Amino acid sequence: MSVTRYSRAIDLQDLENVHTLAVLAVPPGSRVLDLGAADGAVACALRDRGCQVTAIERDAEGVAALIARGLTTIQADLDTLPADAVPPAAFDVVLMLDVLEHLVDPGALLARTRAWLAPGGRALLSVPNVTHGAVRLSLLQGRFPRTDVGLLDRTHLHFFDQDSLQALVTGAGFGVLDLLTVERGLEETELEPPAAGVPAGVLEAVADDPLSRVYQFVVIAAPSAGPAVGGGLLQVLLSRLRSQQAAYRRLEDFAAQAEATGRAREDALTAELRRVAEYVAHLEATLRDHETRAASTHAAHEAALLAADAAHDAAAAAIDAAHEAASAATARQIDLEADRDMLRHQLTARVEELQQASDAIATLLRDLCVQREFAESLAAQVPRIAARGGEVRVLDELDRYQAVAPTPDAAATLAAEAAEFRRLQGAVAFRALARGDAWLRTMPWIRAQLSRLARRLAGASRR
C-alpha cells in the first residue's frame, strides 16, 4: 500500500503533531534509526538538524522516495527483519512512529531494538489512542467505522489504550521516560461527529475524561528494568503549552460568549431602537394627524363662525323684516278691524233698511190683497154700479174707492185711508229706494228681486 497517504509536512510550530514532537525530542547530531520511515519527511527534518539517519521501509514507493532524498535506506518488512540487517549498538535513537499497530508482533520488534541502541540510547514510539472520545461515541451508537488513516485505520492490527501501551513498553524491557500526548477534540478527527441523538449527559461525561481528547500517545523509553522515570523537559513544555492553550480556548470561549452576548444585546438594542423609532414615527404621524385635524377643525371653526355671523345677520334681518311685517300686519289688522266694524255697521244699517223695505213690501202685499178683494167686490157690484150711473160713474167711484164700500160712510172712510196709504207709500218708497239704491248696487241679486217685485206691484196697481 502506498505510503504517500501517511506523508505530512513538518511544522515545528505545531506541537500537536507526532512528527514535530519526535523531531524536537531527538538531540541534534544523534544517530537515528527510523523504522517505517514512509516517504522520509521526519528523516529529512532530523538530517537538517545534523542527525545521521538510516531509514527502513517496506513499501517500494517509499523506498524510492527515501533514496531520492539521499537517505541511507534499507528495504525490509519489520515483521521479518533479519537479525543482521541492523548493526548492534549503532544508534542513539530508534524511531517507531505509528508503526507498532501495523505489526503482527509489535512487542517482539520493540524488544529487538534494545540491541540496536548504544549506551544511553532511547526508543521513541507513537500509537493512536483507541479510547479517544470519538471512538467511544461511535461505539455507543453501535458503530466501529474503519478509515484510511487515523484512529481506526483499516491496516491496524492492534489497538492501544494507555495501560496496554504501558504494558507493551515494559514487557519489551523498557522504562518510560516521558509519556507525551497529541490531542484532538471530538469533532477534530477523521471520524464522523457524534449524532445529535447522543444524550447531553453522555457528551459531558466523555468530555470530562482527559483521555477522551488524546489522539496519539508518544513514548520516550530507555532500556531499564526499573520503574518509569517520566517528567522530561519536553513533557513539561508540552504540559505548559497545553495549559496555555486551554486558557486560550477558555478565553476564546469567553470572547465568543461575550461576543454572542454583545451581539444579542446589540440585536436587542437595535430592535428596541427600531421599536422606539417606529413609536417616534407613530407619534410624529399622530402629531401630524392631530395638527391636520386641528387645522381642519380651526378652518371649520372659522367657517362656522363666518356662517354663524352670516346666519346672525340674516336672522337679524329676518327679525327686522318680521317686526316690520308684524307691524304692518298689526296695522293691517287694525285697518281690517276698522273696516270690519264699518262694514258691520253698514250691514246693520242695510239690514234695518232691508227690514223696513220688507215691512213696506208686506204692507204693499196687504194693500194688494185689499185691492184684490176690492176688485173682486167691485166685480161683484159692477152690474149694480152700472145700473146706478153707467161706466163713467163706475170709474169715478172706483177711483175714489167708493164702489167697494157697502155704505157711503164706509166708502168715505176707505177713501181717506187709501189716500193716506198712498201718501205714506210714496214717502216710504222714495226713502227706501233712495237708501237701498246705493246698497243694492253691491247686491245685484237683491236689486233684481226688488225690480221684479216693483214690476209686480206696478202691474197690480194698474189693475
Q: Out of 59-73, 89-103, 226-240, 406-420, pick the least confident.
A: 226-240
Confidence check: pLDDT of 419 > 70: no
What is d(CA 133, CA 141) in angstroms, rounded to the nearest whole number?
12
Cβ contact 401:415 at 8 Å: yes
Confidence check: pLDDT of 442 > 60: yes
Closest CA to 35 of 98, 84, 122: 98
Confidence check: pLDDT of 92 > 80: yes
Strand partners for 91: 117
The pLDDT score that the predictor gives to residue 48 is 95
What integer is the mean pLDDT of 371-379?
A: 63
The pLDDT score that the predictor gives to residue 33 is 98
Amino acid symbol at 189: T
pLDDT tens across 352-372, in order?
A: 777 776 776 777 667 667 666
Cβ contact 10:42 at 8 Å: yes
Strand partners for 97: 126
Phi-psi region of 38 (alpha: psi -120 to 50; beta: other; left: phi over 0): left
The pLDDT score that the predictor gives to residue 227 is 44
Residue 288 pLDDT level (bands cut at 50, 70, 90):
confident
Strand bridging mode 52-57 / 31-35: parallel
What does the block give as the cell for 202? 453522555
Residue 453 pLDDT level (bands cut at 50, 70, 90):
confident
Task: Report the range out of 158-172, 190-204, 377-391 with the highest average pLDDT.
Answer: 158-172
Confidence check: pLDDT of 457 > 60: yes
What does the block give as the cell for 55? 531509514
Confidence check: pLDDT of 395 > 60: no
The pLDDT score that the predictor gives to residue 47 is 96
Closest CA to 349 of 435, 431, 430: 435
Cβ contact 90:30 at 8 Å: no
Confidence check: pLDDT of 387 > 70: no
Residue 426 pLDDT level (bands cut at 50, 70, 90):
low
Amino acid symbol at 62: G
Cβ neighbours around 453 below 10 Å, total: 14
**DSSP states of 87-141 as a string?**
-TT-EEEEEEET-GGGSS-HHHHHHHHHHHEEEEEEEEEEEEBTT-HHHHHHHHT
Residue with cell 157711503: 408
Say what percent of the chain tops pLDDT 70.
72
Cβ contact 217:129 at 8 Å: yes
Question: What is residue 193's DSSP assignment?
Answer: P
- Distance, C-alpha 312 to centroid of its chain: 50
Amino acid symbol at 273: L
Beta-strand ranges (E) seen in 134-192 are 174-183
What does the block give as the cell for 424? 205714506
Amino acid symbol at 344: R
As to burial, measured by CB atoms within 10 angstroms (0-12 exposed, 13-18 middle, 19+ buried), residue 392 is exposed
What sign results for the dihedral spanned by CA atoms 193, 125, 64, 2? negative
Could you tell me the CA-to-CA distances from 378 to 365, 393, 408, 421 in Å, in that order? 19, 13, 15, 20
Residue 9 pLDDT level (bands cut at 50, 70, 90):
confident
Cβ contact 35:78 at 8 Å: yes
Confidence check: pLDDT of 10 > 90: no
Cβ contact 181:211 at 8 Å: no
Query: b/e for 91-111, b at 16 or more Cβ within 10 A?
Result: bbbbbbbbbbbbbeebbebbe
Confidence check: pLDDT of 69 > 80: yes
